[in-house]
Chain A
Amino acid sequence: METTKHPLDSLLKEQLGNYSPEVPANLYPKIKSNLAAQQSGSVISKAAVIFKNASIVLKSSIIFSLTVPAIAAYFMLQNKQVDSNPGIVLEPSKASISEAVTLPEPMSSLTPKKAILPKIKPQNIKKAVAAEPVQTTQFQAEIGNKLESTSEQKVVQPVFKAQEITEKETPIAEPLETKSTWNGIEQTIETKSTEQLVIPNAFSPNSDGINDEFEINLSATLFYRLRIYHLNGTLLFETDKPSHHWKGTLQESGIQVENGSYRYILEYQLKEQPKPSMAAGYIYLNR
């Protein structure tokens, strides 16, 4: 095949190469808490690295000189985010950071440090609890033999129950197997006689509050994927969350699609199912 530059490639490179959309402001806190968790785990190794280094004093002074302006930048950012539309923050933020770094201002006190520490601590506690569910349940069992129920037990009990349920997962009813072909691909569709999967065949996304979303009544799924296709085969909508319903719009752009029939393909696996199932059909959209 030829390696000449295709006009479409050049166009895409030109238009998308520097695509820098607004980042939602709520994303960094999650990264920050993950980083904090990572760091607390690597404190010892980090300390070793620092002691190996001959230039401890020099390094720490750099860190200190950076921390103050960075804190200033952080607070400047926060103020801006409160005042104005968070979307517009990005460009000014770049400027404010570089300014703050080159021109350290002693205007910020050390109080921001207090604000950082409590955020890290609760994270660690949560991690510790989540990491050792087995221990807490054993502890609960021992108490249960000796004592009456206490408030502590009530807190722990749901965890224990949830484990019991997952262990009991076994297929109860014989699955009914049916085979269907679509686009020449043979699919095995398994349906449980006990399961009641209801998929509507029409909806009206006209914002009147009645049947505005393509809603499928599945909630407790191990796996879920719904795709909506235009009849020409173009994927219009895709989700892996049962709570995420199609509203008759193109994903991301939010443009409303025309009235008509659309193809849906639903892949899902319920908790009691050993294998994923698939359902496909047409949904009629009429506003």
Chain B
Amino acid sequence: MSKPIDEKILKACINKDPKAQEAFYQYYSSSMYGICLRYSSQVEDAQDVLQEGFLKVFEKLSQFEGKGKLEAWLRQVFVRTALEHYRSNKLHLNLTGIEEIEEIGNEDFSMATLGQQEILQIMNQMAIGYKTILNLYAVEGYAHAEIAELLGISEGTSKSQLARARQQFKSIWFAKQGYKHGNN
């Protein structure tokens, strides 16, 4: 992780100094935009979330008080903002109840060949609910209990959705492989 922003800038941001706020934005916008994009199905949504998130951050920065890492706090704010945005814009989460999930064996896959761009392309083709779960669990490292609370679902649903999400990821990846090496 990059080193935290200069404390002077942080203090000036708490005092709502416009120039410090802009410097703060320039410093963190790129990594926060990454989060926004990962949780959105459209670029426009991600940009809305980015703006919403920074307004929230500047408003609540004085409450942060140096508890824990600033970047971790920022990431949390942006993830929550993205989820809120998503909830208010989507009709339904498309999450089904607990069912028996058959895990595909992992040993067959050598996924180390997948690069960042390829992964992002696959994620963008996934159903938004699955993408969200996979992001929360795998990338952000939230526990099922936290995910359940964030999304307003049960822990069991979170687990089964995660398994389905992984399956969908793999099937899209395989489909892409087939397309690449197919007769086209």
Binding site for B on A (CB under 8 A): 1, 6-13, 15-24, 27-28, 30-32, 34-36, 38-39, 42, 46, 59, 62-63, 65-67, 70-71, 73-74, 77, 90, 93-94, 97-98, 101-102, 116, 225, 232, 234-236, 238-241, 250-253, 255, 258, 267
Contact = CB atoms under 8 A, between A and B. Distances in A.
Given A19-B35, A23-B50, A39-B16, 20 more contacts: A6-B138, A6-B166, A7-B106, A11-B112, A13-B139, A15-B114, A16-B119, A18-B31, A19-B38, A23-B29, A24-B47, A31-B25, A31-B54, A38-B55, A63-B17, A94-B2, A102-B6, A235-B41, A235-B126, A250-B125
A15 B9 CA distance: 30
A166 B9 CA distance: 47
A15 B17 contact: no
A133 B41 CA distance: 35
Contact of B127 (A21, A71, A235, A252): A235
Contact of B166 (A8, A236, A251): A8
12 contacts: A6-B138, A8-B170, A12-B139, A16-B119, A18-B1, A22-B33, A28-B29, A94-B2, A101-B6, A101-B23, A102-B6, A241-B44
Contact of A22 (B16, B30, B114): B30
Contacts of A11: 111-112, 114, 119
Contact of A46 (B16, B47, B179): B16
Give the contact-size bracket for chain B.
35 or more
Interface of B: 1-2, 6, 8-9, 11-12, 15-23, 25-27, 29-31, 33-35, 37-38, 41-44, 47, 50-51, 54-55, 58-59, 89, 91, 106, 109, 111-112, 114-116, 119-121, 124-128, 134-135, 137-139, 141, 159, 163, 166, 168-172, 175, 179, 184
